[in-house]
Structure 1
């Protein structure tokens, strides 16, 4: 198994952390991990092909501010994984008063997740429900794994450095290794999750994480990567899913295109939008049919 390397933010220069050139498992906080922009992540690969290189580059240069909608997911991650930001109750029914806004701002400045009391109770109930689940509780057993490990490796075909941050790195073992990733969702019904996989690119994340674990010798071809999906409303139902082989092949192909695009844009310094050519466009199919019958 690859050795875990300490990589703290304190040694990073003002312009960013020292680039990582050696593949390995690194122990670093979430902020430091995201500052390694030269290494392509799963979310970056999705942005490159779902939007454009220009959108990808802009988001890297202009990080998104923290959004309230992320708080429940971040807080649940903290309780499930046992590692993450402080959870801080901002005990006001409404957060539009001067005092409430001040406490929320102070919490975010300190890197904490501000929560209303019902939200604080909600995420604890979610974590309790997960610990009662016969499969999820074993996958995140603190005696058999380590949370939040950052993996860096080099793509053989393009030379691009890649990165992935595992929610959970299981301890080495004989037999089939199962690597879980925790997701909060509106519905954990399997049929609903099929749409979520496509919308959020979980099949690309699956391929990215599998590639990382194979490259670093963490897992072999028999190992599994699963998503532990939990609803954010009571009774906080959990479904553990594994993306099928066809979806994984599609995810791998999308990642390959993203890697080639990233390598080309990095080499040229040019990050284009959707197209640099004149693009012919048509009416939507339904509008064309409607108006052809009416006017042509």
Structure 2
């Protein structure tokens, strides 16, 4: 079902096993668009910022080690985890050891962090629904999908946390996210703030384009990073999926146009943009004037 490749260039649609860094550096000649890229394009000044980031990729960053470590244990994919038996990393010896671990691409963890991520993984395994969604016998982690959008011709890519084996029923795509608060209200805000409602239809499109399922279901598995490591498995309302798909279409059209013209606009170009202050600003100044007059 998938192709394992060590090549850094992919020119055909399909499902691939490639390293995470190869995925993020974009293995498609001429460029492709990911879900995170689509979200970035629609931000204010998005096209210009997107193009700059593509032409000037940032250097290595310290990973979000707790989240990455939890992904490693839950999905059984990702960098090696190394327990550093020291609560404080202040001595020269410990700092050097930590640096060497990171240099080889592994994640160093303090004893408390080690226990934390193992506790999170254990909670996933005890959760009936989450355990079934990430059952090692029923799927594979971190598959890269490459396909061409039929409407715009834009090459698209997606890296699914988990791809279940076809079972004859509806395919359920699960995406694992760690958070500080997995309550319904907090999760709704997170999905809205980070534009995850665009990720849902983007990943559905990937599965459909690969011919795996005409109508897959996408769910988020949110897990809290503090004990008891509560889990909330959620699916978006159909209207929100439609809204996400509409935004994806806008991003694809924008990307196609910018690529064709070579113009990646920022905030404004040849005209002065009017600015209207928020209502609270003028109200606050009016209140301040009243207070000043009372003092005088």
Q: Is TM-score (shorter-chain normalized) higher than 0.5?
A: yes
- Equivalent position of 2:144 in the other structure: 150
- Equivalent position of 2:60 in the other structure: 65
Asked if 1:33 is matched to 2:23, the reply is: yes
**Counterparts of 1:288 and 1:44 in 2: how far apart (Å)?**
36
Alignment of 1:44-123 (within 5 A): 44-51=37-44, 52-60=46-54, 61-63=56-58, 65-67=60-62, 70-123=64-117
Could you tell me how far 1:202 is from its partner in structure 2? 1.1
Matched pairs, number? 283
Asked if 1:184 is matched to 2:178, the reply is: yes
Asked if 1:167 is matched to 2:167, the reply is: no
Asked if 1:6 is matched to 2:1, the reply is: no
Could you tell me how far 1:91 is from its partner in structure 2? 2.9
- Equivalent position of 1:129 in the other structure: 123
**Counterparts of 1:204 and 1:232 in 2: how far apart (Å)?**
24
Over residues 74-101 of structure 1, what are the superposed CA-to-partner deviations in whole Å (9 max), with x where a residue is unaligned? 0000000111110112333223433333
Relative to structure 1, the CA distance from residue 236 to residue 271 in structure 2 (aligned partners, 3 Å threshold; closer, same or farther) is same
**Counterparts of 2:142 and 2:164 in 1: how far apart (Å)?**
11
Relative to structure 1, the CA distance from residue 218 to residue 282 in structure 2 (aligned partners, 3 Å threshold; closer, same or farther) is same
- Flag structure 2 segments of 5+ consecutive residues without an equivalent: 291-296
- RMSD, aligned CA: 1.7
Over residues 196-250 of structure 1, what are the superposed CA-to-partner deviations in whole Å (9 max), with x where a residue is unaligned? 00111111110110111111111222x2110111000000000000011111111
Aligned residue among 182, 204, 210 for 1:210: 204
Asked if 1:284 is matched to 2:278, the reply is: yes
TM-score calculated relative to the size of structure 2 = 0.90
Relative to structure 1, the CA distance from residue 21 to residue 200 in structure 2 (aligned partners, 3 Å threshold; closer, same or farther) is same
**Counterparts of 1:104 and 1:48 in 2: how far apart (Å)?**
36
- Equivalent position of 1:14 in the other structure: none
Residue 50 of structure 1 aligns to a residue whose secondary structure is coil
Residue 265 of structure 1 aligns to a residue whose secondary structure is helix
**Counterparts of 1:64 and 1:56 in 2: how far apart (Å)?**
16
Aligned residue among 234, 243, 247 for 1:250: 243
Could you tell me how far 1:290 is from its partner in structure 2? 4.3
**Counterparts of 1:96 and 1:154 in 2: how far apart (Å)?**
50
**Counterparts of 2:255 and 2:205 in 1: how far apart (Å)?**
17
**Counterparts of 2:277 and 2:58 in 1: how far apart (Å)?**
35
Aligned residue among 267, 273, 283 for 1:274: 267
Residue 78 of structure 1 aligns to a residue whose secondary structure is helix
TM-score calculated relative to the size of structure 1 = 0.90
- Flag structure 1 segments of 5+ consecutive residues without an equivalent: 12-16
After the TM superposition, list the runs of 4 or more consecutive aligned residues in structure 1 that deviate by more than 4 angstroms: 290-295
Residue 233 of structure 1 aligns to a residue whose secondary structure is coil
**Counterparts of 1:86 and 1:137 in 2: how far apart (Å)?**
22
**Counterparts of 1:281 and 1:96 in 2: how far apart (Å)?**
50
**Counterparts of 1:246 and 1:151 in 2: how far apart (Å)?**
25
